[in-house]
């Protein structure tokens, strides 16, 4: 056994017995009170055993040699003080450490459990020739470690920037009314492309939320992110006064992007064609997916976890899940999370055209995105951002925050099948949903609303629906809709914007329609799908799905706060 593999308290006792011999022999202050003649031969054997075992691990040898030498130099006084800091054996044996290695090591001392119990009762532990006093008060304190209380996560603020609304209320009211944000692209000349439509944001001004200098330099995905993030704070009641009393070391930002600053990067490539001297010095940092989270954290002074996750169109759900986990583990109290993307530029449109995934219904843009309809011909590219303010329940209650919904948890899996196509039998999706239910302890019959990923592609819509039927087929209350029927596919921002729609559905008691579902595909059950009108619904538990290129699957669960 390598020295480095011995658990730390036992390791210290183990060395102490051997070192007492070294101190006795070499140190001028050695005292007879540390001499135990009957144990000398046994200790010598132990010292040889340590050296022999350490020979299998160069690092361990170095460690043990230095440990011996340091004890010899430091003297008996330091040895005693270090011994007094040992854990009580009751704490060690009541821990979750593996028992076989420990028993093997103890057998070297000839220890018996009965003898150990007697020594504990006497208030001292004799460790290889060194008597170690155990303070009863400290022993009791160590044994009675407080149990970790389950920390619940709630949604206390939401913010969006979309083609049908740039605040959460306008956005959701338009969804309920079946308003489409799909139109002809105006930002650039797309006459050369077979697809000329998108969920483009026509009028957007970040002036109230972003400095003029940053507005000129940053990619639109960053501007969308900063605007939606700060709107979520306002919606969550995080005023300047509240911000002043927050522990900012316990506040974090995890907002991702599928494609990052595509325009900034593309502009850099074009400048490079002339000369590297023409390139924007901010090209690299403003093209990365993490820059939005970083700038928002700097603006707010939030010093908790701040990073981005990029997992294609499942990005937002991954960010939401990670943010909730930081809160549940007790690392943070507040997290801004979600996603942002702005890919409606020539290279973005051209890339998806090349993938043959976009709709060509240019003559009727508002009818182009039609999930589960038999006449669907591909998804419609969208842009924007969605941000949620997640908060630990007790923290939210103490500051009197409005609670929209409770975040229950979720899961993520991988199809491990194809770069762009879903698994033929939807196995990865089913597994993701099943794991989300298992992780949260939610029963299948409690799920009565699903905001589906449903992008309006031939295979994607069917694979997801098959997985839903496999998981929830017997639930007569189940209702399913797709937000993408009105705003298109926002890529990395899709999951967060749809999570906002899910939270608003819980808050308002209304679920939005599936527009353009005129001729449902024969492979789907139209009775499960929401029709052309909004529906009143008392949501028990809501599920929101997001899937991405590469086979990334994610499912998250929300419920009314009770």
Task: Tell me which residues are annotated as active site.
Answer: 313, 453, 489
230: number of Cβ within 10 Å: 21
Tokens read off for 526 = 């139209």
CA atoms of 12 and 185, how far apart (whole Å): 70
CA atoms of 412 and 547, how far apart (whole Å): 9
Cβ neighbours of residue 341 closer than 8 Å, sequence gap 6 or more: 221, 257, 258, 259, 383, 384, 385, 490, 491, 492, 493
Largest Cα–Cα distance in the chain? 99
465: helix, strand or coil:
helix
Tokens read off for 47 = 């010292």
The residue whose two tokens read 């103490």 is 398
CB-based burial, 315-330: b 16+ in 10 Å, e otherwise: bbbbbbbbbbbbbbee
The residue whose two tokens read 């449903």 is 454
CA atoms of 367 and 465, how far apart (whole Å): 21
Q: Do the beta carbons of residue 372 and residue 517 sit within 8 Å?
A: yes
Backbone angles phi, psi at 267, to 5 degrees: -65, -35
Helix (H) or strand (E) holding 544: strand 541-548
- Cα separations in angstroms, 213 against 156, 207, 306: 31, 10, 23
CA atoms of 162 and 170, how far apart (whole Å): 10
H-only helix segments in 144-256: 168-176, 212-217, 220-235, 240-245
- Cα separations in angstroms, 449 against 9, 357, 541: 53, 27, 7
Provide DSSP, 125-168.
EEETTEEEE--HHHHHHHHSPPPPPPPPEEEEEEEEEBTTBSSH
Cβ neighbours of residue 507 closer than 8 Å, sequence gap 6 or more: 404, 405
- Cα separations in angstroms, 96 against 214, 502, 510: 52, 41, 49
Rounded-to-5 percentages of helix, strand, coil across the chain: 45, 15, 35
């Amino acid at each position: 056994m390598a020295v480095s593999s011995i658990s730390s308290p036992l390791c210290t006792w183990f060395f102490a017995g051997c070192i007492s011999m070294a101190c006795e022999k070499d140190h001028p202050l050695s005292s007879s009170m540390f001499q135990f003649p009957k144990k000398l031969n046994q200790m010598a054997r132990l010292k040889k055993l340590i050296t022999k075992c350490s020979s299998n691990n160069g690092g361990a040898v170095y460690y043990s040699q230095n440990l011996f030498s340091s004890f010899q130099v430091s003297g008996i006084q330091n040895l005693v003080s270090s011994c007094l800091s040992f854990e009580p054996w009751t704490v060690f044996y009541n821990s979750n450490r593996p028992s076989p290695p420990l028993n093997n090591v103890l057998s070297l001392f000839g220890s018996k459990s009965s003898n150990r119990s007697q020594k504990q009762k006497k208030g001292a532990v004799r460790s290889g020739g060194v008597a170690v006093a155990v303070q009863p008060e400290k022993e009791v304190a160590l044994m009675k470690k407080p149990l970790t209380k389950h920390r619940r996560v709630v949604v206390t603020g939401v913010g969006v920037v979309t083609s049908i609304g740039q605040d959460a209320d306008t956005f959701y009211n338009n969804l309920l009314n079946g308003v489409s944000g799909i139109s002809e692209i105006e930002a650039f000349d797309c006459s050369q492309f077979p697809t000329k439509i998108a969920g483009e944001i026509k009028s957007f001004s970040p002036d109230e939320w972003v400095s003029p200098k940053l507005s000129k330099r940053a990619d639109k995905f960053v501007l969308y992110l900063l605007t939606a993030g700060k709107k979520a704070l306002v919606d969550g009641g995080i005023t300047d006064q509240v911000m002043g009393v927050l522990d900012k070391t316990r506040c974090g930002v995890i907002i991702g992007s599928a494609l990052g600053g595509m325009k900034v990067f593309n502009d850099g490539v074009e400048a490079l064609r002339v000369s590297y001297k023409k390139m924007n010095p901010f090209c690299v940092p403003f093209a990365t997916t993490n820059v939005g989270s970083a700038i928002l954290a700097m603006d707010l002074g939030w010093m908790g976890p701040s990073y981005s996750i990029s997992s294609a169109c499942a990005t937002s759900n991954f960010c939401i899940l990670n943010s909730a986990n930081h809160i549940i583990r007790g690392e943070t109290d507040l997290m801004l999370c979600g996603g942002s993307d702005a890919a409606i530029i020539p290279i973005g449109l051209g890339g998806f055209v090349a993938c043959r995934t976009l709709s060509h219904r240019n003559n009727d843009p508002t009818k182009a995105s039609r999930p589960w309809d038999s006449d669907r011909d591909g998804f419609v590219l969208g842009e924007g951002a969605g941000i949620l303010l997640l908060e630990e329940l007790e923290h939210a209650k103490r500051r009197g925050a409005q609670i929209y919904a409770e975040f229950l948890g979720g899961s993520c899996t991988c199809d491990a099948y194809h770069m762009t196509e879903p698994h033929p039998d939807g196995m990865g999706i089913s597994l993701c949903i099943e794991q989300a239910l298992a992780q949260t302890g939610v029963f299948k019959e409690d799920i009565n609303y699903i905001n589906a990923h449903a992008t309006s592609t031939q295979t994607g819509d069917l694979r997801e629906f098959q997985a839903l039927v496999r998981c929830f087929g017997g639930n007569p209350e189940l209702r399913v809709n797709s937000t993408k029927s009105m705003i298109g596919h926002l890529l990395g921002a899709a999951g967060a914007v749809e999570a906002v729609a899910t939270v608003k559905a819980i808050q308002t008691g209304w679920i939005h329609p599936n527009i353009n579902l005129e001729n449902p595909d024969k492979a789907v059950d139209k009775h499960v799908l929401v029709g052309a009108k909004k529906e009143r619904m008392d949501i028990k538990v809501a599920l929101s799905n997001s899937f991405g290129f590469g086979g990334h699957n994610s499912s998250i669960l929300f419920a009314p706060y009770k």
